[in-house]
Chain A
Amino acid sequence: DIQMTQSPSFLSATVGDRVTINCKASQNINKYLNWYQQKLGEAPKRLIYNTNSLQTGIPSRFSGSGSGTDYTLTISSLQPEDVATYFCLQHNSGPLTFGSGTKLEIK
């Protein structure tokens, strides 16, 4: 199975900051990497699919990049409503596997 290593586990940032979250796969996942946001008590929401495609309705401050084994979610200007847990998911091969999550808070 492909292992996904996500970092950091916890992130505290100021409104307006540029924030990056990383996922590293144990092998090449050919850009089949999605990013999700989960707020407390809510269903996970897909932000980015296939590395860099923005889900309809998601603000453009969210973006994704990467290739091979290394992928990044960037929030260009952090907003208060972005407080949530973020996780990655690979769907390239084998069972779906997930990053362990990044809890993002506002300083």
Chain B
Amino acid sequence: EVQLVESGGGLVQPGRSLKLSCLASGFTFSNYGMNWIRQAPGKGLEWVASISSSSSYIYYADTVKGRFTISRDNAKNTLYLQMTSLRSEDTALYYCARLAYWGQGVMVTVSS
């Protein structure tokens, strides 16, 4: 069974940093590109970042470019999202996703 389990969320002050993790199981993680997608409270889904299977290709939404870094460790079956200079508008439920499978999400709240 494919599982994607996010962790690392929480309450953080504006301007601070947070690192999300996503532990994958049930499939060969190193074969698939992965994504972070978020949903702010009461808002629609927003793609955040993508990374190819070998980390050769990385893409970011303009809203997070220069502040967020997506990475992966294929030996640990884990996807990461390093978030810096966090803003209130980054408050959202963050999903780790292959297109076929999504995690349940982890909440990030940016507030003083």
**What is the interface of chain A, defined by CB distance below 8 A to chain B?**
34, 36, 41-46, 49, 55, 87, 89, 91, 95-98, 100-101
- Subset of 16 A-B contacts with CB under 8 Å: A34-B99, A41-B104, A43-B102, A44-B97, A46-B99, A46-B101, A95-B47, A95-B59, A95-B61, A96-B35, A96-B37, A96-B47, A96-B50, A98-B44, A98-B45, A101-B44
Specify which of A42, A45, A87 is in contact with B45 (CB 8 Å cutoff): A87
**Binary A-proximity of B74-97 (CB < 8 A = 1, otherwise 0):** 000000000000000000000101
> Please, which residue of chain B has its CB at the minimum distance from the CB of A100?
B44
* Highest count of chain A CB atoms <10 Å: which of B37, B45, B50, B95: B45
**What is the interface of chain B, defined by CB distance below 8 A to chain A?**
4, 35, 37, 44-47, 50, 59, 61, 95, 97, 99-105
Contact A42 B44 (CB under 8 A): no
Contact B47 A43 (CB under 8 A): no
Q: How many Å lie between the Cα of A44 and that of B35 in the bound state?
A: 14
Contact B99 A49 (CB under 8 A): yes
**Minimum CB–CB distance for B94 against chain A, Å:** 12
Specify which of A44, A45, A95 is in contact with B95 (CB 8 Å cutoff): A44
Q: How many Å lie between the Cα of A49 and that of B101 in the bound state?
A: 12
Enumerate chain A residues within 8 angstroms of B99, measured Cβ to Cβ.
34, 46, 49, 89, 91
> Please, which residue of chain A has its CB at the minimum distance from the CB of B43?
A100
> Please, which residue of chain B has its CB at the minimum distance from the CB of A38?
B102
**Minimum CB–CB distance for B26 against chain A, Å:** 13
> Please, which residue of chain B has its CB at the minimum distance from the CB of A98?
B45
Contact B102 A44 (CB under 8 A): yes
**Minimum CB–CB distance for A96 against chain B, Å:** 4
Contact A43 B105 (CB under 8 A): yes
